[in-house]
A and B are shown apart, each in its own frame.
Chain A
Amino acid sequence: MAGSLIKIDEEIVTSAVASVTLTGIDSTYDVYQLLIKNVIPETDNLGDLKLRVTESGTPNSTANYDWAYKVLWNNGAFFNQQNTNQGELDLSGVLGTGTGESQMANIYIFNAPNSSEYTFFTVEQMNYDKTPDFTGFNGGGVFTSASTVNGVNIFIANSCNIASGKFTLYGLKK
C-alpha cells in the first residue's frame, strides 16, 4: 500500500456551497478512494450527506442507488439501514452544527469508468449527528447503471448548503 495513492482532485470548502463535484475518474486506475473530512452543514438538523456519481461531469439523479449499512453508535443498539432504487447514496444521519458535529468518511469506488459494469462503493463513515450522538455507517452501496462514471457529486439533503469540509479523490496506483 505504501506509495500507492495518487491525488486526482480536491476541494476545500471554506464558504457555503450547494455541493462539491470531484472529477478525474477514468481508466488510469481500477479503484478510487474518496476521503471526506470535517464536513459541517450551514443549517443545523436539516439533512443527511448524500453522493451521486457524475457522468461527463453531470450528477446522475436517477433512482439507481442501493445501499446497506450497519449503523454503529455510542448510545444504543446498533441497527441496519438499507434502501433500494434511490436517487442518491446516503452517507450519514442528519448533520448538525454543534461542537464537534462534523463528518468523516473513507469510501472506495470500484468499476466507475467501466461502461459495462455497475459502480460499487465501500463506505466507512462517522460523525456526531445533530443530537449529538456519535454514529458510524459501515457497509456498501451500488449505482445500478452500467455507465462511464467520471466523478462524484456530494451534497446535503433538503437543499442545505455545505458550510465547510475537505473532499479528496485519490486513485490507487496499479
Chain B
Amino acid sequence: MATNLEFIKSASGTNVSSLTVTDCFSDKYDVYDITFDFAGNSVTGYIEFRLLDSTGTEISSAEYDVAGLMMRSYNTYIENRSVNTTGYTIGYNQDFGLGGKLTIFNPYDSSSYTFLLNQNAGGTTSAGQLIGWKGIMTHKVAETISGIKFFVSGGGSYDFNYIEASVFGVK
C-alpha cells in the first residue's frame, strides 16, 4: 500500500560545527518531518537552527519568533522565548547525545510564514543529566525556504562529534 510519509534526503557530519541540509523542500509537500540526532564534543553551549532561503543562503536576519521549554531532570525548567530574533535555539549541546523531531509547515510556500514544532531529549556525561525540549518557531516572512541549518552557538571547540538529519515529506 502506498504511504504518505516519504523519505526525501539525509545529511550527516563528524567533527563539524554545523550541518546544512540543502534543497530538501519542494512544492510536492506542505508538511515535513525531520528527525535529527547528534552528540556534542562539549557539555556547554546551545544548538541553533536557521532556515535557508530560495538561493540556499542562511537567513540570519531578525525574522524569527520563538518559544521553547527546556526541561531539566536535575534542576528547574528554563523558558526560552524571543521576538524578532536571528535564529532558533533548538536544544542544548549534549555529549551523551540527543535525538529529536521537527515538524515544519509551509516552507516552500512563498505566500505563507514557515512554522516549526520541535521536540527532543538528550543528556550530558556530567551526572548523566537529561534535558528535554519542547518548542515552537516561526519565520515571519512569506518566502520560499529551501533548506535548514543546525549549528553550535559556541563555535570553535564546541562542535558536533557527529550530527545527522533526515527529511521526510508528509503527503
Using a CB–CB distance below 8 Å, which chain A residues touch chain B? 1-7, 35, 37-38, 70, 72-78, 100, 102, 104, 106, 124, 126, 128, 134-136, 138, 166, 170, 173
Contacts and interface: CB of A to CB of B under 8 A. Distances in A.
A72 B68 contact: yes
Contact of B115 (A1, A2, A3, A104): A104
B3 A74 contact: no
Contacts of B5: 1-5
Given A70-B134, A73-B81, A136-B67, A5 B103 contact: no
Closest 5 CB pairs of A and B: A5-B5, A136-B136, A72-B67, A126-B136, A134-B65
A173 B3 contact: yes
Interface stretch (B13-21, B50-58, B105-113, B149-157): B105-113
A7 B31 CA distance: 14
A70 B69 contact: yes
Contacts of A173: 1, 3
A73 B67 contact: yes
Contact of A35 (B3, B67, B170): B170
Nearest to A101: B113
B113 A100 contact: yes
B113 A37 contact: no
Interface of B: 1, 3-7, 30-31, 33, 35, 65-69, 79, 81-83, 103, 105-106, 112-113, 115, 117, 119, 134-136, 138, 140, 142, 168, 170-171
Given A135-B136, A136-B136, A138-B134, 14 more contacts: A1-B168, A3-B7, A4-B5, A7-B171, A38-B112, A72-B79, A72-B134, A72-B135, A100-B140, A126-B115, A126-B138, A136-B135, A170-B4, A173-B1
Contact of B81 (A5, A7, A74): A74
Nearest to B142: A100
A1 B167 CA distance: 12
Nearest to B81: A74
A93 B66 CA distance: 17
Contacts of A104: 105, 115, 117
29 contacts: A1-B33, A1-B35, A3-B3, A3-B6, A4-B3, A5-B3, A5-B5, A6-B3, A7-B4, A37-B105, A37-B106, A38-B106, A70-B69, A70-B134, A72-B69, A72-B81, A74-B65, A74-B66, A75-B81, A78-B69, A102-B113, A104-B117, A134-B65, A134-B136, A134-B138, A136-B67, A136-B135, A138-B134, A166-B30
